[in-house]
């Protein structure tokens, strides 16, 4: 039930219980402002009853065209979703940012995902267990523009008047990228930001950190940067996509695939 309510709030739909019915037991029926409904029993979310436009609402609000198109690249080059470092969560990222494959002296900028990376999903502040590491990271990269938060929620067109982005910037002291194309397709905007601010010129001087292989890490490899995968991040997700990502990662490692080395190959520039 909590999950279902959160989904409705997330998409800014007016939620109100309109009916409570026994359907084969203790089922409860709820509806929201968009006219949809769903059935739910006890604490477990069961299924969406889309007698009207709920599915269309959800698709319109959350569909990531960029990810859908770019994921096709993995069929031909699966190593594009392999990270240069995989750690359990944000606190495990070495400071300065580095790994066997990431040369610390070369890195000038860090791109951070928000949801399930530095913050809990759909929250607007650094996860309380990460605040100390967050401050340490900011000290290591003291130019305010060396860190950039790139989210597929805050700062996108889904974020009305970028109110969420402004709130997070106020709380974290770090800029949220404004971008109309979602990850993994917004790498041009990312490099434009770092070049305009005089931080770095080459994507091989950038590290992308996130909890998703098919968006964060794929973008890192598409643009010729380094990728750090947080698995599981703040909380482990059992969504189909996240389970698929974990399966693909294990499969590629078992077959000795390696992530591309930034600067060693041609980077992808199209969205
Ligand atoms: Mg995320």
In this predicted model, what pLDDT tens digit does every residue of 176-202 receive, in sequence order? Answer: 999 999 999 999 999 999 999 999 999
Q: What's the CA-to-centroid distance between 18 and ligand 1, angstroms?
A: 33
Higher-pLDDT residue of 102 and 50 is 102
- Give me the pLDDT at residue 127, please: 98
In this predicted model, which residue has the larger pLDDT, 266 or 52?
Answer: 266
**117 CA to centre of ligand 1 in angstroms:** 6
Cα–Cα nearest to 185, from 225, 158, 148, 222: 222
For residue 129, is pLDDT > 50? yes
196: CA distance to ligand 1 center in Å?
A: 26
CA of 122 to the centre of ligand 1 (A): 10
Q: How confident is the model at residue 51 (pLDDT cuts 50, 70, 90)?
A: very low
More confident residue, 95 or 10: 95
The least confident of 31-35, 72-76, 140-144, 170-174 is 31-35
Q: What is the per-residue pLDDT across 162-180, written as a single tens digit (0 to 9) for each?
A: 999 999 999 999 999 999 9
Confidence (pLDDT) at 58: 42
Average pLDDT over residues 68-91: 93
Q: Report, at the CATH architecture level, how domain 65-254 is classified.
A: 3-Layer(aba) Sandwich (3.40)
200 Cα to the center of ligand 1, angstroms: 24
Q: Is the pLDDT of residue 138 over 60?
A: yes
CA of 113 to the centre of ligand 1 (A): 6
Q: How many angstroms does the Cα of residue 23 sit away from the middle of ligand 1?
A: 37
Arithmetic mean of pLDDT, 113-121: 97
For the chain, what is the mean pLDDT?
81
């Amino acid at each position: 039930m909590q999950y279902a309510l959160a989904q409705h709030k997330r998409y800014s739909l007016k939620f109100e219980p309109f009916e409570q019915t026994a359907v084969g037991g203790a089922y409860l029926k709820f509806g929201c402002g968009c006219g949809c409904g769903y059935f739910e029993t006890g604490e477990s979310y069961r299924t969406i009853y889309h007698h009207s436009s709920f599915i269309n609402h959800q698709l319109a609000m959350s569909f990531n065209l960029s990810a859908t198109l770019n994921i096709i690249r993995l069929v031909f080059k699966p190593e594009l979703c392999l990270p240069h470092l995989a750690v359990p969560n944000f606190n495990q990222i070495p400071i300065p940012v580095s790994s066997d494959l990431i040369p610390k002296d070369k890195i000038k900028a860090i791109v951070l995902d928000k949801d399930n990376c530095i913050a809990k999903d759909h929250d607007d502040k650094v996860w309380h267990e990460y605040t100390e590491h967050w401050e340490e990271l900011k000290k290591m990269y003291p130019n305010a523009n060396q860190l950039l938060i790139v989210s597929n929620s805050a700062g996108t067109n889904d974020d009305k008047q970028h109110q969420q982005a402004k709130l997070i910037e106020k709380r974290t002291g770090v800029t949220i990228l404004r971008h109309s194309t979602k990850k993994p397709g917004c790498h041009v905007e990312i490099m434009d930001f770092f070049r305009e601010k005089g931080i770095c010129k080459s994507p091989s001087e950038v590290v992308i950190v996130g909890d998703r292989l098919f968006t964060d890490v794929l973008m890192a490899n598409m643009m010729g940067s380094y990728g750090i995968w947080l698995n599981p991040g703040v909380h482990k997700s059992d969504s189909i996509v996240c389970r698929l990502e974990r399966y693909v990662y294990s499969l590629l490692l078992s077959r000795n695939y390696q992530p591309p080395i930034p600067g060693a190959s041609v980077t992808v520039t199209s969205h």
